[in-house]
Amino acid sequence: MQTLFIVAILVLGFLITFQIAKASEYVAVLRGIEKARKQSNKINGFMLLAFLIAGLFGVWYCNHKLSGKILGEPASDHGVLIDRMLYITLAITFIVFIITQVALFWFSYKYQESDTRKAYYYPHNNKLEVIWTVIPAIALTVLVGFGIFYWFKITGNAPKDSMVVEVVGKQFGWEFRYPGKDGVLGKKFYRYIDAANNNPVGQIWDDEANHDDVFVEQEMHLVVNKPVHLVIGAKDVIHDVGLAHFRMKMDAVPGTPTSMWFTPKFTTKQMREKTGNPDFVYEISCDQMCGKGHWSMRGVIVVETQEEFDAWLAGKKPQYLVANPDKDPSVKKDTTAATAVTAMNIEPKSNN
Amino acid sequence: MSESMHVNPEVVTTHAVHHDEHHVHHHHETFVTKYIFSQDHKTIGKQFLITGIVWAIIGGLFSVLFRLQLGYPDQSFPILETFFGHWAKGGQIQPEFYYALVTMHGTVLVFFVLTAGLSGTFANILIPLQIGARDMASPFLNMLSYWFFFLASIVMISSLFIQTGPAAGGWTMYPPLSALRQASDGGKLGTDLWLISMALFIVSSLLGGLNYISTILNMRTKGMSMTRMPLTIWAMFFTAVLGVLSFPVLLSGAILLLFDRNLGTSFYLSDIVVNGEILPNEGGSAILYQHLFWFLGHPEVYIILLPAMGMVSEILSVNSRKPIFGYMAMLGSLFAICILAFLVWAHHMFVTGLNPFLGSVFVLLTLLIAVPSAIKVFNWLTTLWRGNIRFTPATLFAIGFVSLFISGGLTGIFLGNSTIDIHLHDTMFVVAHFHIVMGVASFFGMFAGVYHWFPKMFGRYLNNTLAYMHFWVTMIGAYLIFWPMHYEGLAGMPRRYLDKRGWVSFNQFGDLDKMITVVSIIVFAVQLMFVFNFFYSIFKGRKVTSTNPWGANTLEWTTPIRPGHGNWEGEIPEVHRWPYDYGKDGREYIPQTEPIGENESKH
C-alpha cells in the first residue's frame, strides 16, 4: 500500500513537472522564442555563478564535516611518506582546481550573451599555449620526482633485521605463519595443503625449517618499531592485504608471491589513546574483489612491545607438532596409531 | 515525401532541377530497410542511441539498487523480494546479488552505454554529415556493427535471467575469481555468457571503428582537408584508432579466459586450492590477464572520453560564438592523449607486485597525460573568455563537462602517483575519481551532443524547461554524490564493501552513505525524465523551422531539416575554410561552404 502511494506521488509529480514544462514552451512560443531564450539565458548565467559560490562553500563545508573522519596520523614510517606525498599533491591540485573552476564559471557568467557585446575573434596564441604546456609540465615533474623518490624508499628491500611473517588470503579470511626461532619460513607446496590434517599452508614437513614455524589465523601480532617484512600469497583467488592505518597495500596473488615491508610506529594501545577509541584495532581489509564474502574479509593486527610479542609467540605450538603429535615431546607417545597418521601426511596428496 | 516540404527555400531553388531526379534514383525503402536493417548511418546512429538509452536505464537502476544497500544496510525493502526473489531474501540484497549488480553496472555503462551508446551514436551520425559524405565507407558493415552490438546485448541480458545469475567478478573480470566455477555463483554460466557477449561486442566495435577510420580518411568532400575537419571528427577518429588497436587485445584476454574455464588450460591459473579442492593447474599467471585487460582498459577510458571532448569543443565554440581556441593545440593534445593512452596501463597494477622500477616508468608516463589534458582545459576556458555565450542546454552540459573533467582529472594525479596509490588503490577514492572524470563527464558530453544534434536527428527540439531541470539536478547531484566519496577513500574504505558496520576503521560514514543514496535516487529519476523528454520530443517536440538553428558553420547544417538517405539532395557542398570562423570580420558566423572573401583577414 505504502509502495503504491509512493509510486502514485512520483507519477503525479512527474506529470505536473511535465505540464509546467509544456506550458512554459507554449508561453515561450507566444511571447517569441528569441525573447524567452534571452530571459532563460540570463537565469542560467546567474545560476552558473550561484553554483560556483555554493560549490566552493560546499567544498569547504564537506571538508569541515568529514576531515575529522579520515586518515589520522599514519601508523607506519612509510605512511608518513605517503601522507606527505598526498599533501604535496593536494596543495598543487587544489590551487589549480580553484583557479580553473573559478575561471570556468566566472567567464560563463561574465561573457553571457548580450546584445551589446560582440564575441572576440581569438583563434590562437602560441605564447599562451607554450605557457600552459610548460607550467603543468614543471609542476608534474616535481610531483613525479617526489613520487618516485618515495616509491623507491617504500618498495626497496626490507632491512636485514626485519621480522618475516607470511600472510595468506583465502575465501574469506587470513592466515599467518611465523618463521619461529630460525627466522626462516619452511618450504611449502600447494598440493600439500590439507586442512583436515592440520597442514593449512601446505608445509613440507621434510624441510627442517618448517619444524618451528607457527601458524595462526585471523590475528597477526607485530612488534612496535621493528620492521616487518610480509610475504604474501593467496590460495584461491586474488585478495589484497589492505592496511589503512599503515597506509600499505599489496595484492595476494595465487601462484605469484608478493611482499611488502613497513615499520609500525605505535602499539595498538597507543593508538587507542591517540584516537580516543577504546575499541580501536588495526584491521586488515581485503581490497581486491574476491567473491561474495569480500566485504567481510577482515583480519586484525595487534602491535605490541617485544616482550608482549615474545610471550604471545611462546604460547603458540609450532604447526609441525600440531600436525605430528608423535614428534611433540610434550605429548605422551601412543606409538603405532600416531606413526600411521604421520606417514599419510608426508605422502604428497595426489588429487586426480 | 514529406521531407521535401521542410526544405530550406535556398536549397530548393539551387537544386530544384536535381531534386526530382534524386528521388527517382532513390532506392525503394520498406519499413524494415528504413528502420530495422537500415544501412543509413543516421538511422544506425539512432539505433545505437536508443539501445544505449535502454542500457543506461538498466545500468542506472542497478546502481540505485546497490546504493539502497549501501545507504541502508540495516533496512529491508520487501518490494525487492517481490521482484528479485531469493536474490533479495527478506527484502535485503544478498551479497551474491550485490556483486552481480556492481559487475553488471560497470560492464553495461562502460561498454554498452559509454562506448556503443556514445561513440557508436555520434560517430555514426556526425562523421558523414560533418565531413560531407553520403554515408559510411561500408554501410553494410556499419549495419552489422549495430547488429553485433544488439546480439551482445541479448546475450548479456539473458545472463541476468539464469539460475546462478550474471557474472559477479567485477567489471574487470579478474581471474582466478572469474575463471573458477567453484569460487562464486556468478562464476558459473554467467561468466561464460559475459565473455561471449564481450567477444560479440568487440566484433561490433571493430566493424564500427574500421568504418569510421576509412570514412574519415577517404570520403571527405572537396576542400575538406584533415585540418579543416571539426574537432568532433578528429575526436571520433582517434577514438576509432584507439578501439581498433586495443579491443583485439581484450579479445585475446577473454578467449584465454574462456580456455581456462572450459578447456582445462592454465594461462591464468597456478597453485590454487579452492574450497579445499586442489586444482591441477600450474605455471599460469593471474597477472597476465590484468596486463591484457588494462591494455584495452586504459585506452577504453579515452575511447569513452574523447568523443565527449570533441563534442564539447564544438558546442562551446558554436555557442560562445567564438572560434575554438588553439585548434592545432587541441588536435595535438588529442593525439598526445591517444599515444599516451597505450603507455600507461600498468598504473592500474601498482600494487599487484609489479616490479617497482616498471612502476616508476608508468608513474612518469601517467602523469604526462596531465599535460595535454591541461592544455585542453585552458583552451576551453579561453574559448569562453570574451565570448557571447548562449546557454542552450547543450552549452550548459558542455560547461558541466569541463568542470567535471577538471575535478576528476586532478584526482587522477593522486592515483597516477604510485606512492599515493598504495594507500588509495581500490578504495572509494578510485570510485569517486573515475565516476566523475569518465562516467559523469562523458555522460555530460553525451547529453550535450544529444541536446545539440537532436534537431538534426529528428527535426524537432527537446523541451527546454525539462532540459534545464535535467542539467541542474544532474550537475548538483553528481557533485553531491561523488565529491564526499573521496573522503571515504582517504579513510581507506575499500570499494565493493556492501556493509561496513562490522569494521572499526570504516563505519564512520553511515550518514554520508544515506545522503549519497538519496541524491542518487533523485538523479536517477531526473534521468528518466530526460528519457521521457527524448521520446516525447521525437514525436511531439517543437518543430525545427530553419536548416541551421544554432547558426553553426559545419556541414551537417547545410542538409535539409530531415535529410534522407544520402544526406544532401543535390551535389555535396564544397568546403572552403575551417569550421570555426565565428565572430570573424564582424560577421557572427561564416559557414564552411562559403569561399574565402577577397578582403577577408587571415586567422
DSSP string, B170-196: TTTT-TTTTT-GGG-STTTHHHHHHHH
DSSP H or E segment with residue B278: strand B277-278
Tell me how close the Cα of B132 comes to any Cα of chain A, in angstroms.
24
**Average pLDDT of span B372-401:** 96
> pTM (2 decimals)?
0.93
Between chains, do B419 and A82 touch, taking CB under 8 Å as contact? yes
- Most B CBs within 10 Å, among A4, A26, A44, to test the B interface: A44
Which 150-189 residues of chain B touch chain A by CB within 8 A? 168-170, 174-177, 180, 183-185
* d(C-alpha A220, C-alpha A352), whole Å: 35
Report residue A334's pLDDT band, with 50, 70 and 90 as the boundaries: low
Residue B20 confidence (pLDDT): 42
- Rounded percentage of chain A residues whose pLDDT exceeds 70: 93
- What DSSP assignment string belongs to B494-559? BTT-S--TT-SSSGGGHHHHHHHHHHHHHHHHHHHHHHHHHHHHHHHSPBP-SS-TT---SGGGGS
Q: Is residue B80 over pLDDT 50?
A: yes
Q: What is the mean pLDDT of chain B?
A: 92
Q: Are B412 and B339 in contact (CB under 8 A)?
A: no
Tell me how close the Cα of B593 comes to any Cα of chain A, in angstroms.
19
- Rounded percentage of chain B residues whose pLDDT exceeds 90: 88
Residues from chain B contacting residue A245 (CB–CB below 8 Å): 492, 505
Q: Is residue B157 over pLDDT 80?
A: yes
Q: Enumerate the β-bridge partners of residue A120.
A: none
* d(C-alpha B446, C-alpha B468), whole Å: 15
Tell me how close the Cα of B270 comes to any Cα of chain A, in angstroms.
5
Which 278-337 residues of chain B touch chain A by CB within 8 A? 278-280, 282, 284-287, 320-329
DSSP H or E segment with residue B273: strand B273-274
Q: How many A×B Cβ pairs under 8 Å?
A: 378
SS (H, E, C) chain A: CHHHHHHHHHHHHHHHHHHHHHHHHHHHHHHCHHHHHHHHHHHHHHHHHHHHHHHHHHHHHHHHHHHHHCCCCCCEHHHHHHHHHHHHHHHHHHHHHHHHHHHHHHHHHHCECCCCCCCCCCCCCHHHHHHHHHHHHHHHHHHHHHHHHHHHHHHCCCCCCCEEEEEEEECCEEEEEECCCCCCCCCECHHHCEHHHCECCCECCCCHHHHHCEEEECEEEEECCCCEEEEEEECCCCEEEEECCCCEEEEEECCECEEEEECECCCHHHHHHHHCCCCCCEEEEECCCCCCCHHHCEEEEEEECHHHHHHHHHCCCCHHHHHCHHHCCCCCCCHHHHHHHHHHHHCCCCCC
* Residue of chain A minimizing CA distance to B410: A93
Residue A136, chain B, CB below 8 Å: the answer is yes
The 10s digit of each residue's pLDDT in A186-230 is 999 999 999 888 999 999 999 999 999 999 998 999 999 999 999
Residues from chain A contacting residue B329 (CB–CB below 8 Å): 124, 129
- For β-strands B273-274 and A258-262, DSSP reports them as unpaired
Residue A327 confidence (pLDDT): 84
* d(C-alpha B486, C-alpha B431), whole Å: 8
Q: Using alpha carbons, select from B141, B120, B43 the residue that is nearest to residue B567.
A: B43
Residue A287, chain B, CB below 8 Å: the answer is yes
Q: Is B596 exposed, middle or buried (0-12, 13-18, 19+ CB in 10 A)?
A: exposed
- Most A CBs within 10 Å, among B417, B480, B488, to test the A interface: B417
Angle at B204 between CA B198 and CA B205, to 5 degrees: 85
The 10s digit of each residue's pLDDT in B283-292 is 999 999 999 9
DSSP H or E segment with residue B277: strand B277-278
Between chains, do A121 and B582 touch, taking CB under 8 Å as contact? yes
Residue with cell 594507500: B423
Residues from chain A contacting residue B269 (CB–CB below 8 Å): 254-255
Residue with cell 605455471: B283
The 10s digit of each residue's pLDDT in A294-330 is 999 999 999 999 999 999 999 999 999 999 888 888 7
Between chains, do B413 and A143 touch, taking CB under 8 Å as contact? yes
Between chains, do B388 and A148 touch, taking CB under 8 Å as contact? no
Residue with cell 600552459: A132
Q: Is residue B367 over pLDDT 70?
A: yes
Between chains, do B176 and A140 touch, taking CB under 8 Å as contact? no
Q: Which of B273, B406, B483 is facing A100, going by the closest CB pair? A: B406
Between chains, do A100 and B377 touch, taking CB under 8 Å as contact? yes
Q: Which of A70, A113, A191 is facing B389, going by the closest CB pair? A: A113
Residue B490, chain A, CB below 8 Å: the answer is yes
Residue with cell 514552451: A25
Q: Which of A112, A136, A150 is facing B391, going by the closest CB pair? A: A112
Q: Are A77 and A248 in contact (CB under 8 A)?
A: no
Residue A172, chain B, CB below 8 Å: the answer is no
Which 81-120 residues of chain A touch chain B by CB within 8 A? 81-82, 85-86, 89-90, 92-93, 96-97, 100-101, 103-105, 107-108, 111-114, 117-120
* Residue of chain A minimizing CA distance to B279: A351
Residue B515, chain A, CB below 8 Å: the answer is no
The 10s digit of each residue's pLDDT in B535-569 is 999 999 999 999 999 999 999 999 999 999 899 99
The 10s digit of each residue's pLDDT in A132-181 is 999 999 999 999 999 999 999 999 999 999 999 999 999 999 999 999 88
Residue B601 confidence (pLDDT): 79
Residue A312 confidence (pLDDT): 95
* d(C-alpha B325, C-alpha A121), whole Å: 9
What phi and psi values does residue B2 have, to the nearest 5 degrees?
-70, -20
Q: Are A237 and A254 in contact (CB under 8 A)?
A: yes
**What's the distance, CA B308 to chain centroid?**
8
Q: Is residue A347 over pLDDT 90?
A: no
* d(C-alpha B220, C-alpha B216), whole Å: 6
DSSP H or E segment with residue B274: strand B273-274
Helix locations, B436-509, DSSP H: 441-458, 464-482, 485-490
Q: Are B394 and B373 in contact (CB under 8 A)?
A: no
Residue A352 confidence (pLDDT): 41
Q: Which of A44, A120, A285 is facing B386, going by the closest CB pair? A: A120
The 10s digit of each residue's pLDDT in B125-154 is 999 999 999 999 999 999 999 999 999 999
Q: Which of A67, A69, A289 is facing B509, going by the closest CB pair? A: A69
* d(C-alpha A102, C-alpha A264), whole Å: 42
* d(C-alpha B391, C-alpha B388), whole Å: 10
Residue B395 confidence (pLDDT): 97
Q: Which of A20, A47, A101 is facing B465, going by the closest CB pair? A: A20
- Most B CBs within 10 Å, among A61, A62, A71, A107, to test the B interface: A107
- Rounded percentage of chain B residues whose pLDDT exceeds 70: 95
The 10s digit of each residue's pLDDT in B478-516 is 999 999 999 999 999 999 999 999 999 999 999 999 999
Q: Which of A86, A104, A123 is facing B414, going by the closest CB pair? A: A86
Residue B510 confidence (pLDDT): 93
DSSP code at position B560: -
Q: Is residue A338 over pLDDT 80?
A: no
Which 243-282 residues of chain A touch chain B by CB within 8 A? 244-245, 247-251, 253-259, 277, 279-281
Q: How many CA atoms lie within 13 A of B44 on its CB side?
A: 32
Peptide bond into B176 cis (omega under 30): yes
Between chains, do A40 and B529 touch, taking CB under 8 Å as contact? no
Report residue B36's pLDDT band, with 50, 70 and 90 as the boundaries: confident
Residues from chain A contacting residue B386 (CB–CB below 8 Å): 111, 119-120, 122
What phi and psi values does residue B356 have, to the nearest 5 degrees?
-60, -35
Q: Which of A129, A137, A242 is facing B326, going by the closest CB pair? A: A129
| Contacting residues for B16 by C-beta, under 8 A, at least 6 apart | none
Which 38-77 residues of chain A touch chain B by CB within 8 A? 40-41, 44-45, 47-48, 51, 55, 58-59, 62, 66-67, 69-71
Residue A332 confidence (pLDDT): 60
Between chains, do A86 and B420 touch, taking CB under 8 Å as contact? yes
Residue B13 confidence (pLDDT): 41
Residues from chain A contacting residue B419 (CB–CB below 8 Å): 81-82, 85, 146-147, 150-151, 154
Higher-confidence position of B29 and B84: B84
The 10s digit of each residue's pLDDT in B519-529 is 999 999 999 99
Compute chain B's Rg from CA coordinates: 25
Residue type, A177: R
Between chains, do A124 and B414 touch, taking CB under 8 Å as contact? no
Backbone dihedral region for residue B180 (phi beyond 0: left; psi -120 to 50: alpha; all else: beta):
beta
Q: How far is CA A334 from CA A327, A328, A339, B232, in A?
A: 11, 11, 9, 83
Between chains, do B580 and A55 touch, taking CB under 8 Å as contact? no
Tell me how close the Cα of B252 comes to any Cα of chain A, in angstroms.
21
Residues from chain B contacting residue A154 (CB–CB below 8 Å): 419, 422
| Contacting residues for A252 by C-beta, under 8 A, at least 6 apart | A167, A168, A169, A232, A233, A234, A238, A239, A240, A241, A258, A288
The 10s digit of each residue's pLDDT in B57-72 is 999 999 999 999 999 9
Q: Is residue B384 over pLDDT 60?
A: yes
The 10s digit of each residue's pLDDT in B311-361 is 999 999 999 999 999 999 999 999 999 999 999 999 999 999 999 999 999
Q: Using alpha carbons, select from A330, A324, A344, A307 the residue that is nearest to residue A213.
A: A324
Q: Is the ipTM of this complex over 0.85?
A: yes
Q: What is the mean pLDDT of chain A?
A: 90
Q: How far is CA B591 from CA A201, A320, B285, B294, B583, in A?
A: 73, 84, 57, 42, 12
Angle at A224 between CA A222 and CA A225, to 5 degrees: 125
Which 38-97 residues of chain B touch chain A by CB within 8 A? 79, 95-96
Helix locations, B278-387, DSSP H: 286-320, 327-340, 356-368, 370-384
Residue B16, chain A, CB below 8 Å: the answer is no
**Average pLDDT of span B454-482:** 96
* Residue of chain B minimizing CA distance to A234: B272
Grid coordinates representing A218 are 585471523
Q: Would you say the C-alpha torsion A185, A188, A194, A197 has a positive or negative sign?
A: negative
